[in-house]
A and B are shown apart, each in its own frame.
Chain A
């Protein structure tokens, strides 16, 4: 039996051995005899009416099994619609294959099924599509105007969602305050870019009327529930499996047309059909992120106290409202989270999510919060600079203090007690803030452009059923299930609805179960990513995996132990309240008799007559299932501090130092927590400095390969120091706060603030990210010209 506890220990991830040695099994590794391959003919128009499609030549191409257009699958699926309770919301039914009209470059129009992908691509080339081009709708701001061409016929406008949050009297607060700062902030469009692009494989066993969909997804439960309805296959005969999944970052949390399509085609051809996205398709047709314009203004008094904030957000939500999250998922959360961890009395946030000719906007690691934090933290630095206040001091002045919890934010969210102030101070201490400012002054004197950027934020994680992971959406994401069973040999298997896709959750959950059951971690098996595992599963996203999964595990372990006590009571002939569970065994109070788990299981299941039959009939299998609903959510928070240097000649930004101090409550596994931060920060650096999906005015995608879509490489990511101060734990089960998104949320703002700080002597404030060399060049060039005009 283990010494001490697994929870809190830096245990190496159990999944790594298979992931690193090639033993893992991704969807593309699954071999089903006779599997056919799908290639799509995708739209090369941003907006066009489909006049005609000729598939004759494609059908004659070698190895082709079938060629399918929207007309060929008409009636094979009921409409899939992301509905919402939000007022003024306009839903858009999913187009599995484009019918009548295409609305973005890369939208699937024709599916070719062939013996293999090569042959399918050969045939897809032969499809002839006659388009009547329509006016492209590419600029969200223009698309929101009443005179814009409409993307969806019959809609009132291209604005799919609209929302507003108000507190206090912003007009009054912004009226003649001592200091006002305002800017138009722009965060460009990004893609999640999981290492494993999306893959799905459907197998229809006609004789059994059974469908199995293997898909690289974070949410097999959501996919199943939606497709059962859409395809009219009984839930008992529809299994969705997400085997090893190579990253998600939110890009695999939605239901995609391709997933529905492979099922439809598998049923049509009565066999197995696979679609394996290539990188271009991933960049063209996976849900995208950010893409917001935020006009924001902040007023502060002379002491640096924030009086009021306004934010007007335009979010480019792409062509369709994504299932199940809706088009509100990203932009609405920008205004929800914008007030951040600060005391802001007067606030007005308004958002419009506008449809354009681009792939749908979906959840991406951080959802809304990276942009909200970027805007808020930039405003604070701009105000501090204007007032001549220190950036750290300005934050300490405004951040919610320990005695103010629970704090209701200006947008109506509730922060339960978390280490806002503590993390801010701890990060500053870790990076030796005061000394660093001196170093910076010296560097500036030498003409070096060194900058320090702080970003502090609060985040809501592990959300229960009283809130919605996306405002107004059609499904419940507030519960999660754990099923725990002991087999006849004493082996314990835990089944979960939360999913593992590289983030280490499998290890974390095993740690929790091993501790609760008093077992060796090696003896605990975790099954997840399979709708056969639990009756209702949602998945992992929104920093909920550990909070919800561990909570459900703890409840299930408790229940299983109760059951074991009952069985032991019969076997040991002792009253239940005299039996204790621990260290993998059940022991009577006097210590006289004991049963290990395997002894207990063997006797209970296999020894005839060992347990009276009425007890056995009542108790049943040694298995339990529990659902956990944390009702609300739990606050996590962090402060990031980045130090950057601007290399003037190359117009490049080098991140020299990076520190994070976070409050994620009880760490289940510090290695995993740090890993989550490392990866998230790397992605945040990508958003701050490199990554941008570029579309031209005609809606053509200019960055459909990794030559043009630039992600940070290893040498662009600095060493980072992670700190987790010892703080009071939240009151939820296990005292766990989510950590999965804290990296991306803080990094964009910290880097942008650091760059602005470096450029402060030139009067430059970063308002647009990514700050690519080209953008930096233009800013430096403009400031040079401005200087020479003076």
Chain B
């Protein structure tokens, strides 16, 4: 369990990192190393050069933009978890971060690393899809921005080119009065989820427009397929509803259960994952609906 030989560079500027990546065959970016180091040690990846981006100051930090925000790639899970700004505008992220691994790992693991790594059971990719995040990439010929849904291509495969660096993730503001719920089932505290789900319900409207109703509904799951999935049919069923009852919740949960294609592994069978998706959705939709609306 020792890595194959590699060279190492730790540039202080993004341009430099990009230049190194552009001119080196088989180079690999390393961020927090929490996923990459085990893969190196198992010799599952064998780069000739590791480009450590942890010294690039410009890749750190959380910037508020009204009620939206931008999180730079090297921002650690722990920094996000404990950020008052995140808690204020995206409480669902704060909640979800508590489920990511353990403190020591959260202290090193980064948003950029997690999204680039695209583990099919990770929280960040799922949050990115749920929150319609914009993913910023920088490469030798400039920058590009992708919708989260377009960024993920499959299990551990993304739109990232080998010479690109993920620089930041923009999170557009959520509608006012968005209620949220997040939870997951894992074997142990801190493990990757067997299934995780997030629900956002934005409630609005006035007596003039026919009373309060669900203006926007989003449901995303992870652990139930190659990549995180938004449950559009289920969302559509919720949109426009003035109230939610058990029957409706059951229908929503059935759509989720039948709309996923989970696979089986050592931890959980596909059937178990379906059942978990069903019960998690039921509970989370209900809990989001019953939550007092956030401003």
- 3 A-B pairs with the lowest CB-CB distances in the bound complex, closest first: A278-B1, A650-B185, A777-B272
* CB of A279 closer than 8 Å to a CB of B: yes
Does A716 make an interface contact (CB < 8 A)? yes
**CB proximity to A under 8 Å, residues B153-209:** 185, 187-191, 194
Task: Give the distance to chain B from A732, nearest Cβ to Cβ, in Å.
Answer: 42
With A649-B283, A702-B266 known as contacts, the answer to whether A280 contacts B189 (CB < 8 A) is no
Chain A residues in 8 Å Cβ range of B5: 118, 122
> Is there contact, CB below 8 Å, between B187 and A710?
yes
Do A713 and B268 have beta carbons less than 8 Å apart? no
Stretch at the interface among B15-23, B87-95, B273-281, B285-293: B273-281
* Residues of chain A at interface, number, CB under 8 A: 29
Given contacts A122-B4, A773-B194, contact A694 B266 (CB under 8 A): yes
Contact of A715 among B1, B189, B269, B280 (CB under 8 A): B189
The majority secondary structure among interface residues of chain B is loop
B25 in contact (CB, < 8 A): no
Q: How far is the CB of B86 from chain A (nearest CB, A)?
A: 25
Which residues in B have their C-beta under 8 angstroms from that of A712?
A: 188
B282 → A minimal CB distance (Å): 9
Q: Is the CB of B2 within 8 A of A710?
A: no
A536 at the interface (CB under 8 A from B): no
Give the distance to chain B from A774, nearest Cβ to Cβ, in Å: 5
16 more CB-based (< 8 A) A-B contacts, given A118-B5, A652-B185: A122-B4, A122-B5, A125-B4, A279-B1, A280-B42, A650-B185, A651-B272, A710-B187, A710-B191, A712-B188, A773-B185, A774-B268, A774-B269, A777-B268, A777-B269, A781-B271
Given known A-B contacts A117-B2, A278-B1, A652-B185, A703 and B266 have beta carbons under 8 A apart: yes
Q: Which residues of B contact A172 (CB under 8 A)?
A: none
Q: Which residues, 1 to 53 on B, are CB-close (under 8 Å) to A? A: 1-5, 42-43
Q: Which residues of B contact A256 (CB under 8 A)?
A: none
Verify if A121 is at the interface (C-beta below 8 Å from B). yes
Known: A121-B2, A122-B5, A649-B283. A708 touches B272 (CB 8 A): no
When C-beta atoms are compared, the residue in chain B nearest to A652 turns out to be B185
Closest to A712 in B: B188
Interface size on B, residues (CB 8 A): 25
Knowing A117-B2, A118-B2, the reply to whether A713 touches B275 (Cβ < 8 A) is no
Residues of A that sit less than 8 Å from B by CB: 117-118, 121-122, 125, 278-280, 649-652, 690, 694, 702-703, 705, 708, 710, 712-713, 715-716, 772-774, 777-778, 781
B interface residues (Cβ-Cβ under 8 A, vs A): 1-5, 42-43, 185, 187-191, 194, 266-269, 271-272, 275-276, 279-280, 283
Min CB distance, B268 to chain A, in Å? Answer: 5
Contact A649:B188 (CB < 8 A) given known A278-B1, A702-B266:
no
Residues from chain A with a CB closer than 8 A to the CB of B191 are 710
Q: How far is the CA of A705 from the CA of B44 in the complex (A)?
A: 14
**Interfacial chain B residues near A652, Cβ < 8 Å:** 185
> How many Å from the CB of B151 to the closest CB on chain A?
25
Q: Give bound CA distance, A778 to B275, whole Å.
A: 11
B278, chain A: closest CB distance, angstroms: 10
- Nearest A residue to B194, CB-CB: A773
CA distance A146 to B187 in the complex (A): 40
* A121 contacts across to B, CB distance below 8 A: 1-2
A774's partner among B2, B267, B283 (CB-CB below 8 A) is B267
Which of B43, B185, B187, B268 has most chain A Cβ within 10 Å?
B187
Whether the Cβ atoms of A713 and B276 lie closer than 8 Å is no
Q: Is the CB of B188 within 8 A of A715?
A: yes
CB neighbours (8 Å) of A280 from chain B are 1, 42
Neighbour of B275 across the interface among A122, A702, A781, CB < 8 A = A781
B189 to A, closest residue via Cβ: A715
A37's nearest neighbour on chain B, judged by CB, is B2
**A702 CA to B267 CA in the complex, in Å?**
11
Least CB separation from A277: chain B residue: B1
Give A74 Cβ to nearest chain B Cβ, in Å: 29
A649 & B187 in contact (Cβ 8 Å cutoff): no
Set of chain A residues within 8 Å of B4, measured between Cβ atoms: 122, 125
- Give the complex CA separation of A652 and B43 in angstroms: 34
A274 CB to nearest chain B CB (Å) = 14
Shortest Cβ distance from B283 into A: residue: A649
Instruction: Give B49 Cβ to nearest chain A Cβ, in Å.
Output: 17
A536 to B185, CA, bound (A): 53
Residues on A with C-beta less than 8 A from B194 are 773
Residues of chain B contacted by A716 (CB below 8 angstroms): 188-189
B188, B266, B269: the one within 8 Å of A713 (CB): B188
User: A774 and B188: CB pair below 8 A?
Assistant: no
List chain B residues, Cβ under 8 A from A710.
187-188, 191, 267
Residues in A whose Cβ lies below 8 Å from that of B1: 121, 278-280
Question: In the complex, A122 Cα to B43 Cα: how many Å?
Answer: 10
Measured CB to CB, the closest approach of chain B to A654, in angstroms, equals: 12
A773-B187 in contact (CB<8A)? yes
Q: Which of A125, A278, A649, A773 contacts B279 (CB 8 A)?
A: A649
**By the criterion CB–CB under 8 Å, are B280 and A649 in contact?**
yes
Question: Which of B1, B4, B276 neighbours the largest number of chain A CB atoms within 10 Å of its CB?
Answer: B1
26 contacting pairs across A/B (C-beta < 8 A): A118-B2, A118-B3, A121-B2, A122-B5, A278-B1, A649-B276, A649-B283, A650-B185, A651-B272, A690-B187, A690-B188, A708-B266, A710-B188, A710-B267, A713-B188, A713-B189, A715-B188, A715-B189, A716-B188, A772-B187, A773-B194, A773-B268, A777-B268, A778-B272, A781-B271, A781-B275
Complex: how many Å from CA A703 to CA B2? 19
Rounded to whole Å, the gap between the CB of B196 and the closest CB of chain A is: 12
A460: shortest Cβ distance to chain B, in Å? 34
Residues in A neighbouring B185, C-beta threshold 8 A? 649-650, 652, 773
A121 to B194, CA, bound (A): 34
- Most chain B Cβ neighbours within 10 Å, of A650, A651, A703, A716: A650
The distance from the CB of A39 to the nearest CB of chain B, in whole angstroms, is 8
Give bound CA distance, A651 to B191, whole Å.
Answer: 16
Chain B residues with Cβ below 8 Å from A690 are 187-188
Which chain B residues lie closer than 8 Å to A702 at the CB level? 266
Given contacts A121-B2, A280-B1, A774-B267, are A713 and B272 in contact (CB under 8 A)? no
Assembled-state Cα–Cα distance A650/B275 (Å): 9
What CA separation (Å) do A121 and B40 show in the bound complex?
13
Distance to closest chain A CB from B195 (angstroms)? 9
* In the complex, residue of chain B having the shortest beta-carbon distance to the beta carbon of A117: B2
B276 touches A650 (CB 8 A): yes
Q: Which of chain A's residues has its CB closest to B272's CB?
A: A777
- Report the Cα distance A306→B272, complex, angstroms: 39
**Residues in A whose Cβ lies below 8 Å from that of B280:** 649
Q: Is the CB of B190 within 8 A of A713?
A: yes
Q: How far is the CA of A708 from the CA of B194 in the complex (A)?
A: 13
State A651–B42 Cα separation when bound (angstroms).
32
Give, as a whole number of angstroms, the nearest-CB distance from B260 to chain A: 16
What A residues does B269 contact at CB under 8 A?
774, 777-778
Q: How far is the CA of A712 from the CA of B185 in the complex (A)?
A: 16
Shortest Cβ gap from B200 to chain A (Å): 21
B285 to chain A minimum Cβ distance, whole angstroms, is 14
Q: Which residues of B contact A279 (CB under 8 A)?
A: 1
